[in-house]
Amino acid sequence: MAVRSRSDRGQAFPIYVVMVAGLLFLAFAFFAVGKASALRNGSQGAADAAALAAAQKARDNFGTGFYASLPTNMLDVFLNTPFAAPCYEASRLAAANDARRTSCYATPGHLRDRITVGVRGNKPVDSPVLPGSENKKAKAKATALIEFRCPNPKAVDFNSDGVQDLFIFTCRNGKILEIAPGSPPPWESVSRTLFDVRLVDQ
């Protein structure tokens, strides 16, 4: 029967130490990668929420000018006026999702504007196996589209006096909306029909 000498056991011990150290390093590395991925996903969620919130607030703020344009028959001109980017709303939603807004801007287009928001997460990766990760924070960006989906409204002048008494909007979602400039409905009841707000690829 072969008997392992004491010197053999002594030589094997450093190998075990190296193997255990390697496994621990890999475990920390996998944990760091997982944490970084989770933080990245969290920042992307914060960016999505911030962009949508800013776009929805921009749509809400659009009502007064929209209604004001109807009696003067300046609707087409008004609809080509760029949306303002309410970045304070983007900041609020970013903070609610444990992030900080780093950028916020609107990109105008014909009857469709984009609002883009960039954020940075508040929590660092902070892994002992990744140098510099104590200050590394996840970044993300998202863009929301505000699109007027009821083009070419029909104006009706019942009295032939040059004053538009009714606007009829036929929308791409199949809905028909009638607005009388003299007694317009609450903006909240029509804004979601007139304007679509959604996230889009950048």
Q: What pLDDT band is residue 9 in, cutting at 50, 70 and 90?
A: low
pLDDT averaged over every residue in the chain = 82
Neighbour order of strands in the sheet with 195-200:
99-107, 112-124, 137-148, 195-200
130: pLDDT strictly greater than 70: no
28: pLDDT strictly greater than 80: no
pLDDT mean over 120-144: 74
104: pLDDT strictly greater than 60: yes
71: pLDDT strictly greater than 90: no
CA distance 115 to 56: 10
* Alpha-carbon distances, residue 29 vs 97, 130, 137 (angstroms): 26, 8, 17
What is the pLDDT, as a whole number, of residue 102?
A: 96
Q: What pLDDT band is residue 86 in, cutting at 50, 70 and 90?
A: very high
pTM: 0.77
Spacing of C-alpha 61 from chain mean position: 18
CA distance 187 to 64: 8
Q: What is the dihedral of CA 88, 61, 175, 71, to 10 degrees?
A: -170
CA distance 187 to 180: 13
Q: What pLDDT band is residue 64 in, cutting at 50, 70 and 90?
A: confident
For residue 36, the one-letter residue type is A
What is the pLDDT, as a whole number, of residue 132?
A: 57
Q: Other CB atoms closer than 10 Å to residue 44's CB: what's the count?
A: 19
Q: What pLDDT band is residue 110 in, cutting at 50, 70 and 90?
A: confident
Pairing of the two strands 166-170 and 176-179: antiparallel
Higher pLDDT, 127 or 117: 117
82: pLDDT strictly greater than 70: yes
CA distance 194 to 190: 6
Domain locations along the chain: 8-147
Q: What pLDDT band is residue 179 in, cutting at 50, 70 and 90?
A: very high
